[in-house]
Chains A and B, each alone.
Chain A
Amino acid sequence: MLLLDWLYVGVFAVVGLGMAALPLAIVWALAPRAPYPQKRLTYESGVVPFGQAWAQFNVRYYLFGLVFVIFDVEVIYLYPWAIVFQRLGKFAFVEMLIFLVILLLGLAYAWRKGALEWA
């Protein structure tokens, strides 16, 4: 039954959170607490940190995320197709072929335009 299935999912999530937080609570109770400024400095391989904690980030991270979202949405269409195409005959296969070709075109475009380059 659907609701019951997902009730289990919900309960597991809550219990998981609780059980994961439990060691943290134990540490909070047991561990020593002796914070002094030097200990809490940002780690920078032993030298005193300088400057802001950011660097000039390229747009490449965003491009990867973007192409990923587009293809993730495409994969969503693949899942239901995968389980029904067998009984819907040849036309279903052709439909998906068209769909995938259009998206492969997109991938090729991204490739050509350098959106997939890290450098």
Chain B
Amino acid sequence: MNWGLEIAKAVGLAVVMFTFLAVVGAMFGVLLERKIGGWIQSRLGPKHVGPQGLLQTIADTVKLLQKEHITPRAADVAIFNTAPLIVAVAGLMDWIVIPFGPTLIVRDLNIGVVFFAAMASLTVVGILVGGFASNNKYSLLGGLRSASQMISYELPLAMALVAVAMQAGTLSTLGIVNAQAQRGWFVFLQFPAFVIFLIAATAEVNRVPFDLPEAESELVAGYFSEYTGMRFALFQLGEYAEMFAMAAMATTLFLGGWRGPLLPPVIWFLLKMYLIVFFLMWTRWTFPRLRLDQLLNLSWKLLLPAGLIWILITGFFITFF
């Protein structure tokens, strides 16, 4: 076992993958969001920079790269700078267990689904600490509220993951996609889990209708308030990477991953993933946002009991039939 070679391969793969994610996921995703938002609101999105505005995000990135780094006077500088890194890295690490094709997965961890949930949990630490380190009332409140929201929705997310794992008999993402070959896509068999997963995923990435903690009209920008320039961009990168990861996970768990006739597997996977992303963006531009207590009630009093009951129902059917 040549460790040096393996490490070199891992580094290369990581660089390629993260660049791909940063470009296609975050940059293209932001542009997609603005275009879709424009389309839904009967206006044009970005159009000037590049053909049809395709280079808009690149222009934005270049701009952000030269913005001054303003650190608030009383902030704890070390933590203030680490918080965006935590969020960005957690969002990127999720992608290790996403299968783009029958063999196109970084590593098929045996506990794939648990690892995914764990990385989603890590984001909360970054956000909480970022809000705290800014030494700003709005940031602190925003961070606390966002953290409360995210942890509340991690449980229904886990319920949905458990239900799918029950159906597939394995925690590995590849295994789950392969199990859908025999039983059909889990979106049909496990429709309630699909719904719960999508709602929880939207809340986990702080998107409308669950974006109260960072809503511009509410708490300035919540935990973002003191973050300018590239550090802000890193938070956004983490959130968009996580959103895409949730969409990718939804296709893996419920829509049969890369499976489909004719076209190559990767194309199918990307198509399905973008379908879910489109759906998430569509909800964003359509719904008003929920109040924080409505949001928390939805999770604890509806989704969590529903998830538990669904797990019992699934278990019942699998055991007795």
| Interface residue ranges, A against B (CB under 8 Å) | 2, 4-9, 11-13, 15-17, 19-21, 23-24, 26-28, 30-35, 37, 39-45, 49, 53-55, 57, 61, 64-65, 67-68, 71-72, 75, 78-79, 82-83, 85-86, 89-90, 92-93, 96-97, 100, 103-104, 107, 111, 116-119
B319 and A39: CB pair below 8 A?
A: no
Contacts A23-B65, A44-B138, A93-B316 given; does A7 touch B292 at CB 8 Å: no
Please pick, from A16, A23, A39, A78, the residue contacting B311 in the complex, using a CB distance under 8 A. A78
Give the chain B neighbours of A79 by CB distance below 8 A: 111, 113-114, 162, 165, 171
The contact sample of 13 A-B pairs, CB cut-off 8 A, is A4-B1, A4-B107, A8-B106, A9-B93, A19-B14, A23-B64, A39-B70, A55-B141, A71-B304, A75-B159, A103-B308, A107-B305, A116-B301
Q: How far is the CB of B273 from chain A (nearest CB, A)?
A: 20
Give the chain A neighbours of B225 by CB distance below 8 A: 43
Give the chain A neighbours of B67 by CB distance below 8 A: 27, 31
Give the chain A neighbours of B135 by CB distance below 8 A: 42, 53
In the complex, per-residue mask of B1-41: 1 if CB is within 8 Å of any chain A CB, else 0: 10100110011011101110010000000000000000000
How far apart sit A103 and B150, CA to CA, in the bound complex (Å)?
21
How far apart sit A6 and B151, CA to CA, in the bound complex (Å)?
26
In the complex, per-residue mask of B162-173: 1 if CB is within 8 Å of any chain A CB, else 0: 110110011100
Give the chain A neighbours of B84 by CB distance below 8 A: 20
A27 and B230: CB pair below 8 A?
A: yes
Give the A-B contact count at a CB cut-off of 8 A.
217
B138 and A19: CB pair below 8 A?
A: no
The 4 closest A-B pairs by CB, nearest first: A118-B293, A15-B14, A11-B10, A40-B73
